Amino acid sequence: MIVINGTPHDTEITDPRRSLLDHLREDVGLHGPKKGCDQGGCGACTVLVDGRRVLACLTLAAQAEGRSVTTVEGVGRDGGLDPLQEAFIEHDGFQCGYCTPGQVCSAIGMADEVARGVPSRVSPEIGAASFDLSPDEIRERMSGNLCRCGAYNGIVAAIEETYLDGPR
């Protein structure tokens, strides 16, 4: 059983080799998580597992057993979009939109890491309780999510605006 976007799913994992990414896309029918490389190189498949961002292409579906998985389809609120998603639209943080679900999930996971005091290479002080989400921090921490359309400026602006008052 995997809890996906708040709902328990008993969907059969048809092949032991099946990645969490293929399980979500092919078996569960959630196409938000994207496949850009299937080898951990692009971040398009980023989902949240128990609130932490992971690459679904490098995670076996079987590893998610008993855990809670959130995909981009599950980040919205009250049937609408999350403010982060709205900010992506407002700042034109995408063009083709293929990397976008991964960017959105990654940003949510990243904001939580910042709130928990997980440092990055550019953090001023290791061991601080939490960090400001400066554009430099955002760029550093989001660098596992490639955007070949080059929408980076818009993505950073959207994240910065959304978490201006700290991660929620």
Partner 1 sequence: MNADPIVGRAVPRRDGPAKVSGAASFTAEVPVEGLAHAALVCSTVAAGEITGIDLTEARSAPGVVAVMTHHNAPAIRIAPLLITLRGASFTRAPVMQDARIRWNGQPVAIVVAETPEQADHAASLVRVGYAPAEGRLVFDDLKVGAPQPDHVQGEAPAVLRGDAEAALRTAAARVDQVYRTPWHTHCAIELHATTVAWHDERSLTMWDATQAVTHSQATLAEVFDLDPEDIRVVSQFVGGAFGNKMMWSHQILCAAAARLARRPVRLVLSRSDVFRVTGGRTRTEQRVALGARANGTLTALVHEATTTTGINDGFAEQCTFPARVLYGADSFGIDQRVVELHTPANSSMRAPGESVGSFALECALDELAEQLDVDPLDVRAGLEPAAHPTTGKPFSGRHLLEAYRLGAERFGWARRSSTPRSRRDGPWWIGHGVATATYPYTRMPGGRASVTLSADGCATVRTAAHEMGMGTATVQAQYAADHLGLPLDRVRFEYGDSRHPAAVPAGGSAQTVSIIASVVAAARALTAELLHLAAPDSPLAGAGAGADDVEMRDGGLHPRDGGPGESYAAILRRAGRAELAAEGAASPPTETAQHAMHSYGVQFCEVRVHDVTGEVRVSRWLGVFDTGRIINPRTAASQFRGAIVMGIGSALTEETIFDERTGRVLNASLAEYHVPVHADIPPIDVAWLGHPDPMAPMGGKGVGEVGMVGVAAAVANAVHNATGRRIRDLPITPDKVLGL
Binding site for partner 1 (CB under 8 A): 14-15, 17-18, 22, 25-26, 30-42, 44, 71-73, 76, 81, 85, 88-90, 92, 94-101, 104, 135, 138-140, 142-156
Three-state DSSP state, 60: strand
How many Å apart are CA 9 and CA 142, to the nearest integer? 30
What are the tokens at 156? 């950073």
How many Å apart are CA 119 and CA 18, to the nearest integer? 33
Amino acid identity of residue 41, one-letter, is: G
Stretch of 23-31, 65-73, 135-143, 147-155 contacting ligand FES, by CB under 6 A: 147-155
Restricting to residues 43-72, which ones interact with ligand FES according to CB under 6 A? Answer: 43-45, 55, 57
Stretch of 24-32, 41-49, 62-70, 132-140 contacting ligand FES, by CB under 6 A: 41-49
- Is there a contact between 41 and 32 (Cβ–Cβ < 8 Å)? no
Indicate the length of the chain as a whole number: 168
Contact footprint for ligand FES (CB under 6 A): 35-38, 40-45, 55, 57, 94-100, 147-149, 151
